[in-house]
Amino acid sequence: MRVDVISIFPEYFAPLDVSLIGKARERGILDVHLHQLRDWARDVHRTVDDTPYGGGPGMVMKPEPWGEAIDAVLAADPAAQPRIIVPTPSGVPFTQKLAMEYAAEPWLLFTPARYEGIDSRVMAEYGARMRVDEVSVGDYVLAGGEVAVLVMVEAVGRLLPGVLGNAHSAVDDSFAPGAMENLLEGPVYTKPPEWRGHEVPEILLSGHHGKIARWRRDEALRRTARNRLELLAALDPETLDKHDRKLLSELGFPA
């Protein structure tokens, strides 16, 4: 997969050199191209922002540098078109489902903004020719789109074939459609069996694989009920067995 990023802070993407994503790049699974937006500004000050039409606080990113920068990236392969992804707090939610969709694309172009965002005509211009997604990584306001891009590249990158070992494939992730039907994962433990007086739950040391699976499911249900009531409410009752119903009713959530 090819990933292009146009930003006034290309150095913000140093984390993509490290760890899982860094390895994927070394292996040639992920081909990342970073671009400095200011390289396409025309004036001596390399200006990329201006005051908003209609008034109001802050500055808006000018359309011309974005248009020229995006055109230059598109020219890298005139036969193909990237999926353009614009991080914004007013976009559609970035979910595991969208991460899987992006992981199936050959080419992504991220356009992280600063200030109050990008002049909307840039999205209109490219949206008429190709897919342009305005995407939010969560209901909080960042100072710019760079961190949102890091979030999305990591979530997408780990889904690419060959990035995760077979040992822990992505198919049983909490939010993978079809996985443990949208239950949160329960707690995890490793050695030693006792640490600062805290013991590992005995069942996990028992070797009873059936009982361990049941315990893990109980913990997943408990954690989902405690932390994410809306996920609990969205569970398909058909996927709940007798034991699940009993536990949930004990927790005060009648079927």
Catalytic residues: 89, 116, 158, 173
As measured in angstroms, the least distance from the Cβ of 151 to ligand JEW is: 9
Binding range to ligand JEW, per CB under 6 A, among 17-25, 111-119, 162-170, 199-207: 111-119
As measured in angstroms, the least distance from the Cβ of 248 to ligand JEW is: 32
Is 141 marked as binding a ligand?
yes
Q: Which of 41, 74, 102, 117 binds ligand JEW (CB under 6 A)?
A: 117
Amino acid at 213: A
Q: Which of 22, 67, 127, 144 binds ligand JEW (CB under 6 A)?
A: 144
* Rounded to 5°, angle at Cα 180 from 177 and 182: 60
Tokens, residue 142: 């960042």
Residue 137 interacting with ligand JEW (CB under 6 A) = yes
Tokens, residue 198: 């805290």
For residue 118, what is the DSSP state? B
As measured in angstroms, the least distance from the Cβ of 68 to ligand JEW is: 19
Using CA atoms, how far apart are residues 216 and 219, in angstroms rounded to an integer?
5
Task: Give the pairing type, strands 31-36 and 2-7.
Answer: parallel
Asked whether the beta carbons of 119 and 14 are under 8 A apart, the reply is no
Using CA atoms, how far apart are residues 242 and 237, in angstroms rounded to an integer?
11
- Quick note: the x/- pattern for ligand JEW over 79-108, rule CB under 6 A, is --------xxx-------------------
Where along the sequence are the contacts to ligand JEW (CB under 6 A)? Answer: 87-89, 113-117, 136-138, 140-145, 148
